[in-house]
Amino acid sequence: MLPFHLKRDAFSNSCRSISAKSSSLYAPDLQDLGKLAGGVFSLANAVNAAGDVIAGSSDSSHGSHAFRWTPGAGMIDLGVFAGSDMSIANAVNAAGDVVVGYAQSGSRGRRRAFRWTLTSALPGLGVLTGGMFSQANGVNAAGDVVVGSSDSVSGVRAFRWSLASGMINLGILAGGGDSSAYGVNATGDVVVGRSGSSGGDRAFRWTPALGMVDLGTLADGDSCAYGVNAAGNVVVGFSDVCHIERAFRWTPAAGMIDLGALDGGIASIANGVNAAGDVVVGQSESAHGARAFRWSADAGMQSVEDWLAGHGVEVSGMNTQAAYAVNAAGDVVVGRLDNGRAFVARAPAARGASCLVEA
């Protein structure tokens, strides 16, 4: 079992988003993304298409706050709801101008999903009928479809929110008690996540035509889907194999395929996938402890350190722990180091160079 089971509702290892251009226009370098004033720890949950907008969370002198980072402006605090001291950014759209997540609302600290834009501060998205809390976990390329979870009169349910229809309950699998949505494709019409079922927790893929479809498991345990590619035909997450979490990549043709683990490890979780669906990132045990990984069909599963080394960069003095997101081209990976700081790793193929950036 991994020592860092991913939960979308925990600051220490919350989650992410995917997007759509190559980072090769940006010169690789070693930068410090910094932290919010008064903070010590930070976490990169999401990266946009081009790899030049990063969203996540940092502690600060005023509590844990969502941030949006760009090369020009650095790390900008996205703020909180009135009377609160906590917000978390989980996803960013392709252009990098829409960020979604959740923040505490009111004196009782209930979570409410938000959708931040360059012109709208931190507006809440509300809750499902009868609910009191919600959180946003994913956003589509245009930024006008948001997915997540909310409680309701029927229990916690996955939702799909859009500008046109508001927050819609996506339901549950047969026999299930609750569900959560974690990822959405580029056009916003394929949603993935986890639902309870008569057989246990199951990864699901939702479409308007078919509704919520069980993606099954690798073996005998639970499964959960965290990411989906732009077209909606590649899904990634984890499934239990003999009570051990294993990263998977699902396609309609091949079904659910075990991506394995890093050398010396047995457990792994896939958190994100690029636009084409041929690069997957996540976290795995290894002979050296927990490490962020990057998987591709050509290279298989590599630690981010080994991936960078293959592009001529020797990483020393820092170790990755988990990767949460990858850009559209698959050459920018963001996540967290084992010292509790955010990182971004770049290896643009067109430039033949790479870097590991610590926040």
CATH code where residue 164 lies: 2.120.10.30
pLDDT band at 339 (very low <50, low <70, confident <90, very high): confident
Q: Which residue has the higher pLDDT, 71 or 247?
A: 247
pLDDT-derived band of residue 206, with 50, 70 and 90 as boundaries? very high
In a domain, 5, yes or no: no
Provide the pLDDT confidence category of residue 108 given band limits of 50, 70 and 90. low
Domain count for the chain, please give it: 1
Question: Is 6 part of any domain?
Answer: no
- Write the pLDDT tens digit of every residue in 63-98: 999 999 998 898 999 999 887 889 999 999 999 999
Question: Model pTM?
Answer: 0.91
pLDDT at residue 220, rounded to an integer: 81
Does 4 reside within a domain?
no
Per-residue pLDDT, 32: 59
**What pLDDT, on a 0 to 100 scale, did the predictor assign at position 351?**
41
Q: Which pLDDT band holds residue 354 (cuts at 50, 70, 90)? A: very low
- Residue 324's nearest CA partner among 40, 12, 2 is 12
Domain that includes residue 30, residue range: 11-358
pLDDT at 123: 87
The one-letter code for the residue type at 76 is I
Whether residue 51 lies inside any domain: the answer is: yes
pLDDT at 251 over 80: yes
Mean pLDDT confidence for 315-339: 91
Residue 3 lies in a domain: no
Model confidence at 140: pLDDT above 50: yes
Strand partners, 167: 161
